[in-house]
Amino acid sequence: MPAAGVKQVETRRRYLLIFIMLLTALALPGCKTGAPQKETDKQPVHDAEDTIKIGFLGDKGGYGGSECLKGIRMAVDDINRTGGLLGKKVELIEGDHGGNSSETVRVTRSLVDRKAAVIIGDNTTGITKLAATVCQDNKVVIISPTASGSGVVEMGDYIFRIALLDSVAVPAVVKYLAGTLKWKKAALVKNIGRSYTEGLAAIFKPALVRNGIEIVNEQKIRKNDTDFSFQVAALRQSPFDGLIFPGNYTEACPFIKEMRKQGMRQAAVGGDGMYSRQLIENGGTDVEGTLAYAGFAVDPANANRRTMEFVEKYRAQNNNLTPDVYAAQAYDAVNLAADAIRAAGSAEPAKFKEKLAETKNWQGVSGTITFDRDREPVKSPVYLMEVKDGRFVIKAVIPVSIPDLLTEEL
């Protein structure tokens, strides 16, 4: 064979050998086609950072989001003032979705990409669920301070919340209505179109039945309704002791005002969606006597030193205003995550989430928190708040325990 031909054959053999080696490498276990794995997939991501990053997810321009952010900033400042976390400074990175649920996934991904070890937010159930899909897929812990609706922690083992759950609060409150306030008959308003309010109504109804309170009138309103004259007129046809209004302050305020306009004086009772300064500011004297439960209230007679220090610090930074559940539970969410990181000795979410799930009788400024076997928070006590003389005051402090909840389920 001529020399040129021999050279061509050898060249073909070399190319064939390289091709076979590539096929063999691709067939080996663990090898993937496409782009190579990132180095961060093989090495600790968050422990390698110079700071431990905590992300805020929420609507900075919204009341709940802005109050949560105040609590988060206070907690981060306190941690850094006392030496940081695992010898590192805690860095707060803020993600603002502007109240637009369509922005949630993008904003959450940006926090993940910026190496947040834990994300605190959102303050609503619906947006928390959207963010949870991103956090679970990327193995980043998210803790919602106030999301209390159903189907949150079920989305994965990186998903947590520390809210006073409606399933915890409602049985305690209804028991108080029946036993202490002696309610026998109630009216119920169902708010159609909001997952939070529809879920809350579904918890209230069986609780009322279990405690011997008859639902004598039931009306429906829809999300963003403003005229409630028809529903209130229908309520006037049935005598009842009080109104169950499982909705937000945005609908509760005009509904209660319409009740007063039509001469009805019964108190309205609702969840923490009604526990807001805006209810009083917009409702004035018409909302006097309104009851709403909450996972936090300022109770000087019984509050511990840590809680009162938080309250005084908040007041000093916010024109002497009293903190509400958003700021307090967001403050607790940061500190709960910090304690889990300390216990794990690591800011890697895969490590400290296990310590977080083991939380038992953790004392925060908003109360005591225990995660049950499903990682759901059991928060105690339940504060039943009443609007009196233009402000919320404590009507009752109702302790809750896991055995109590098991009894309710039976």
118-122, 146-150, 292-296, 381-385: least confidently modelled range: 146-150
pLDDT, position 14: 54
Residue pLDDT, tens place only, 64-105: 999 999 999 999 999 999 999 999 999 999 999 999 999 999
The residues with which 190 forms a beta bridge, in sequence order, are 220
Under the banding of pLDDT at 50, 70 and 90, the label for residue 26 is very low
For residue 132 the two structure tokens come to 């949870």
pLDDT at 13: 57
Distance CA 105, CA 221 (A): 30
Q: Taking residues 101-125, what's their average pLDDT?
A: 97
Structure tokens at 129: 């669920």
pLDDT, position 195: 77
> 301 falls in which pLDDT band (50, 70, 90)?
confident
To 10 degrees, the CA torsion angle through 243, 244, 245, 249? 80
Domains and CATH numbers, the chain: 52-163+303-375 (3.40.50.2300), 167-294+385-409 (3.40.50.2300)
Instruction: Outline where 82-146 has alpha helix (H).
Output: 104-113, 125-138
Most confident segment among 83-97, 299-313, 366-380: 83-97
What mean pLDDT is reported for the chain? 89
Do 115 and 138 meet the contact criterion of CB atoms below 8 Å apart?
Answer: no
Residue 41: what pLDDT?
46
Given a cut of 70, whether residue 17 has pLDDT beyond it is no
- Give the chain's end-to-end CA distance (angstroms, integer): 92
> Residue 142: its pLDDT value, please?
98
Taking the C-alpha atoms of residue 379 and residue 401, their distance in angstroms, rounded to an integer, is 8
| pLDDT class of 4 with cuts at 50, 70, 90 | very low
* 248-261 mean pLDDT: 95
Q: How far apart are CA 53 and CA 42, in angstroms?
A: 20
DSSP β-bridge partners for residue 250 = none
- The pLDDT of 28-45, averaged and rounded, is 45
- In this prediction, residue 149 carries a pLDDT of 80
Q: In this structure, are residues 386 and 395 in contact, taking their beta carbons and an 8 Å threshold? A: yes
